[in-house]
Amino acid sequence: MLSIKGKSLLPIVQGGMGVGVSAHRLAGTVAGLGAMGTISSVDLRRHHSDLMEFTAKSRDKDQINRVNLIALDREIKAAQRLANGTGMIAVNVMKAVSEYAAYVRQACASGIDAVVVGAGLPLDLPELTSDFPKVALIPILSDARGIALVLKKWMRKNRLPDAIVIENPRYAAGHLGAAKPEDVNLPQFAFPSVLENTLQLFKDLGIESERIPLITAGGIHQHEQVDQLVKLGASAIQLGTPFAVTEEGDAHPDFKKVLVQAKPEDIVTFMSVAGLPARGVKTPWLENYLSKESKMQSKAHVQECTVGFDCLQQCGLRDGNAKAGQFCIDTRLGFALQGDVKRGLFFRGSEPLPMGSEIRSAKELINYMLNGSRESQ
Ligand SMILES: Cc1cc2nc3c(=O)[nH]c(=O)nc-3n(C[C@H](O)[C@H](O)[C@H](O)COP(=O)(O)O)c2cc1C
């Protein structure tokens, strides 16, 4: 069992997935089943035609940011209605996003249970949320070094994380917690080693081992892995790709098809515009982009954000950073959300999926991971 802020939950967490892939329907359904469901905060206006129309042709950054906060509030309230007080609803905010602080504050003001932060070190999260002590704070980290950094910094502010997600860049989807694509396989990221070193770190810092639940994420797709990880010290597991392709996943059915039909050789690791490696499916756009990447990088130059949104604090395309990706990530992820197979960027983990190529319900996925039965329910 996973216990966060005194609430007992099933030991399965649905990871946050942007843009719009985990919105109210998926997160609210998962919470309603007694687990933790996570809404991805970034650019949620894409699920609200009125807000999208209002800003469709806008290059007014403040206006786009304002409507995105309205969309986040709507999504949180809708997820809460679906969950009806069961389980826990979290909001995922990436540290790398420009509006990180505004998204965190809005999530708290809208009554969220937990804030989960990845893609960067959330050293300032305790201050940002200090008016909302009931909100659980959960960083996503990939190795014991990052965990030590966050713990030591937070302990000076008298705060501990309410759980930590340990995401292995070797298998996970989306942005990865390694410096370069070649680094994702480093042994320091393997679950047994991160769990062992983290439990030792807790001892060294005088933290009881049960005080901070550890949630492992990345490539977990078999029921048997859950018991193995629990034996190594994990309290729960987080799934991304397997939840993205459930019936309740908030993306277009064709988005789910791309993910379930991808063969191992179709899944690639590349540099994102955020300056971090990322993993996704080599769909027509990504294949074409990768064939031109080095040429585009050699011509990288500072320019205005192509959509006037400035979604990332650091963007390789806008900032002319030749070491990072050279595409508009918000536009590409938006296409994927709509099921545009030709133009979209489809994040996906490297491993096979628990239900193979079948689209099943979130309930069936959770049941398989916990009990090993794939029977329909
Ligand atoms: C389509 C997609 C989008 C994702 N977007 C985010 C995101 O916005 N923020 C984040 O912290 N993690 C994101 N992730 C990572 C997941 O939350 C999860 O930790 C990871 O996918 C686990 O690996 P798995 O997919 O092998 O289960 C994304 C994953 C997918 C599949």
Please count the residues of the chain: 377
In the prediction, which pLDDT does 376 show? 80
In the prediction, which pLDDT does 235 show? 98
Supply the mean pLDDT for the chain: 96
| Residue 364 vs residue 376, higher pLDDT | 364
| Residue the block writes with tokens 């996943």 | 249
The ligand 1 atom at the shortest distance from the C-alpha of residue 171 is: 26
Q: What is the pLDDT of residues 97-149, one digit of tens each?
A: 999 999 999 999 999 999 999 989 999 999 999 999 999 999 999 999 999 99
Instruction: State in Å: Cα 38 to ligand 1 middle.
Output: 10
pLDDT, mean of residues 191-195: 98
- Smallest CA-to-CA distance from 18 within 45, 39, 33 is with 39
Instruction: State in Å: Cα 172 to ligand 1 middle.
Output: 7
Answer whether 118 contacts ligand 1 (Cβ < 6 A).
yes
Instruction: State in Å: Cα 227 to ligand 1 middle.
Output: 22
pLDDT band at 377 (very low <50, low <70, confident <90, very high): low
- Smallest CA-to-CA distance from 203 within 148, 165, 137 is with 148
Q: Whose CA is nearest to atom 11 of ligand 1?
A: 118
**3-state SS, one letter per residue, for the chain:** CEEECCEEECCEEECCCCCCCCCHHHHHHHHHCCCEEEEECCCHHHHCHHHHHHHCCCCCHHHHHHHHHHHHHHHHHHHHHHHCCCCEEEEEEECCECCHHHHHHHHHHCCCCEEEEECCCCCCHHHHCCCCCCCEEEEEECCHHHHHHHHHHHHCCCCCCCCEEEECCCCCCEECCCCCHHHHHCHHHCHHHHHHHHHHHHHHCCCCCCCCCEEEECCCCCHHHHHHHHHCCCCEEEECHHHHCCCCCCCCHHHHHHHHHCCHHHEEEEECCCCCEEEEECCHHHHHHHHHHHHHHHCCCECCCCCCCCCECCCHHHHCCCCCCCCCHHHHHHHHHCCCCCCCCCECCCCCCCCCCCCCCHHHHHHHHHHCCCCCC
- In this predicted structure, the answer to whether residue 277 has a pLDDT above a threshold of 80 is yes
Beta-bridge partners for 214:
164
CB atoms within 10 A of CB 1: 9
- In this predicted structure, the answer to whether residue 59 has a pLDDT above a threshold of 90 is no
Answer whether 139 contacts ligand 1 (Cβ < 6 A).
no
Count CA atoms within 13 Å of residue 11 on its CB side: 21
Q: Whose CA is nearest to atom 20 of ligand 1?
A: 240
Instruction: State in Å: Cα 344 to ligand 1 middle.
Output: 16
| Residue the block writes with tokens 């769990």 | 195
Q: What is the pLDDT of residues 291-327, one digit of tens each?
A: 999 999 999 999 999 888 899 999 999 999 999 999 9
The ligand 1 atom at the shortest distance from the C-alpha of residue 336 is: 1
Q: Whose CA is nearest to atom 1 of ligand 1?
A: 347
Answer whether 354 contacts ligand 1 (Cβ < 6 A).
no
Q: What is the pLDDT of residues 161-175, one digit of tens each?
A: 999 999 999 999 999
Which domains does the chain possess? 2-251+355-371 (3.20.20.70), 257-337 (no CATH)
For a ligand 1 pocket test, name from 241, 243, 258, 286 the mutation site with the most ligand atoms within 8 angstroms of its C-beta: 241
pLDDT band at 229 (very low <50, low <70, confident <90, very high): very high
185: which 2 tokens? 């396989």
11: which 2 tokens? 């030991």
Q: What is the pLDDT of residues 317-372, one digit of tens each?
A: 999 999 999 999 999 999 999 999 999 999 999 999 999 999 999 999 999 999 99
> With the C-alpha atoms ordered 114, 115, 118, 121, is the resulting torsion angle positive or negative?
negative
93: which 2 tokens? 């905010």
- In this predicted structure, the answer to whether residue 58 has a pLDDT above a threshold of 80 is no
Instruction: State in Å: Cα 369 to ligand 1 middle.
Output: 18
First to last CA, the chain: 22
Instruction: State in Å: Cα 315 to ligand 1 middle.
Output: 19
40: which 2 tokens? 């991805």
| Residue 19, preceding peptide bond in cis (omega within 30° of 0) | yes
The ligand 1 atom at the shortest distance from the C-alpha of residue 244 is: 31
- In this predicted structure, the answer to whether residue 196 has a pLDDT above a threshold of 80 is yes
Q: Whose CA is nearest to atom 3 of ligand 1?
A: 17
CB atoms within 10 A of CB 6: 8
In the prediction, which pLDDT does 268 show? 98
Residues of the chain above pLDDT 90, percent: 95
Judge whether 359 and 255 are in contact, CB under 8 Å.
no
